[in-house]
Amino acid sequence: MKVVLENLTKRFPGRSKKDEAVTAVDHFSFEIPDGQLIGLLGPSGCGKSTTLNLISGLETPTEGKIFFGDEDVTDLPPEARGVGLVFQNYALYPHLTVEENIIFPLENLKGAKKLTKEAMHEKAMEAARLVQIDTLMERKPKELSGGQQQRVAIARALVKIPRVLLLDEPLSNLDARLRLQTREELRRIQRETGVTTIFVTHDQEEAMSISDLIIVMKSGKVHQIGKPQDVYDEPTNLFVAQFLGTPQINVFDGAIRNGKVWIGKEAVLDAAGKADRDVWVGIRPEGFIPDPEGPFTCKMDRVEVMGRDVSVISTHEKMTGKCIRSIVSSENRFAPDQKEVRFRLKPYKVFLFDKESEERV
């Protein structure tokens, strides 16, 4: 089921003069393709949950429309939209067994849709097998680990075969290992069911690793939409460039002059055909190549060994962060008392942003 958002906007009024009105979602237009897993990504407070709540019907938009396929669902109540919802806290019924929890959404089906006990059991088993908890059906939620509880919540969201599956930070309560494992599971479940899924997270790595498309938001506005690799390789502005990637992109106060990119007194890269202007120079950690003859000179701080790669930590008077982190091959050799480190730069790992607008040049 494709999901179409048309100028979707949500404003919350302030509670007092000091508490200003917030535009939590600001004219969001996009057509989410059928059967894909969409990562909705952005820092805390950027409007991710509000967007999801608008799609599920828990919130009503101030402006704009929502379509599932060709059907306008903007005025439909949540229960009529056919969405499956999973939140960060699993919100299972503590006094019900796993099976009863999964069956719950099926119990109140009316009329022709009403199911027999056997049919409900069969559907619950099917959903449970999908998330691999079918051996735990008799247990109560408190007898399950966090990861298992979240699987029950996912099974419950899937049991009615939703038109759209909406997941709001579903992995945030899990420990690091389980989070990694569960996100792979989610990807598998989404592939197997083919349900259009919107997955909200503030964790860029999580979104990048499992999404077909990512939507990067900030302050209610969509900044970029694309395949994870494309957004990483071609960020449209400084915010997106900084939000994606670990370690973070290194940003320098620089300029374009006479067809070259300057950082301080050094021309570090060609910028033939680009007009003179002041820029932020963003360099991905993997964009540095140590080279004694290289044009970019930094002050050596230390080298951290990571096995296959090493991380060279250096500084520069024009850097904007605390230090420069570059990831280079462990075949490079550094002297223990080395004061300086010189680099060549990979042009496709260097992005230039306008000083004022912070848009890509």
Ligand X SMILES: Nc1ncnc2c1ncn2[C@@H]1O[C@H](COP(=O)(O)OP(=O)(O)O)[C@@H](O)[C@H]1O
What does the binding site for ligand X look like in residue numbers (CB under 6 A)?
Answer: 12, 22, 24, 42, 44-50
Instruction: Say if strands 164-168 and 196-201 run parallel, antiparallel, or are unpaired.
Output: parallel
Could you tell me the smallest distance in angstroms from the CB atom of residue 77 to ligand X? 18
C-beta of 48 vs 179, nearer to ligand X: 48
By CB neighbour count within 10 A (0-12 exposed, 13-18 middle, 19+ buried), where does 284 fall? Answer: buried
C-beta of 49 vs 101, nearer to ligand X: 49
Integer Cα distance of 45 and 220 in angstroms: 8
Binding partner of residue 22 among Mg ion, ligand X, none, CB cut-off 5 to 8 Å per kind: ligand X
Binding partner of residue 334 among Mg ion, ligand X, none, CB cut-off 5 to 8 Å per kind: none
Integer Cα distance of 46 and 202 in angstroms: 9
Binding partner of residue 50 among ligand X, Mg ion, none, CB cut-off 5 to 8 Å per kind: ligand X
C-beta of 89 vs 315, nearer to ligand X: 89
C-beta of 48 vs 360, nearer to ligand X: 48
DSSP output for 119-177: HHHHHHHHHHHHTT-TT-TT--GGGS-HHHHHHHHHHHHHTT--SEEEEESTTTTS-HH
Binding partner of residue 24 among ligand X, Mg ion, none, CB cut-off 5 to 8 Å per kind: ligand X
Could you tell me the smallest distance in angstroms from the CB atom of residue 52 to Mg ion? 8
Q: How many helices and strands, by DSSP H and E, does the chain display?
A: 8, 20
Binding partner of residue 103 among Mg ion, ligand X, none, CB cut-off 5 to 8 Å per kind: none
Could you tell me the smallest distance in angstroms from the CB atom of residue 40 to ligand X? 8
C-beta of 202 vs 318, nearer to ligand X: 202
Could you tell me the smallest distance in angstroms from the CB atom of residue 174 to ligand X? 18
Alpha helices in the chain (DSSP H): 48-56, 98-107, 117-130, 146-158, 176-193, 204-210, 228-233, 238-243
Could you tell me which of 330, 310, 240 has the C-alpha nearest to residue 282?
A: 240
Could you tell me the smallest distance in angstroms from the CB atom of residue 223 to ligand X? 13
C-beta of 49 vs 197, nearer to Mg ion: 49
Q: Verify cis geometry, omega within 30 degrees of 0, for the bond prior to 247.
A: yes
Contacting residues toward Mg ion, per CB under 5 A: 49
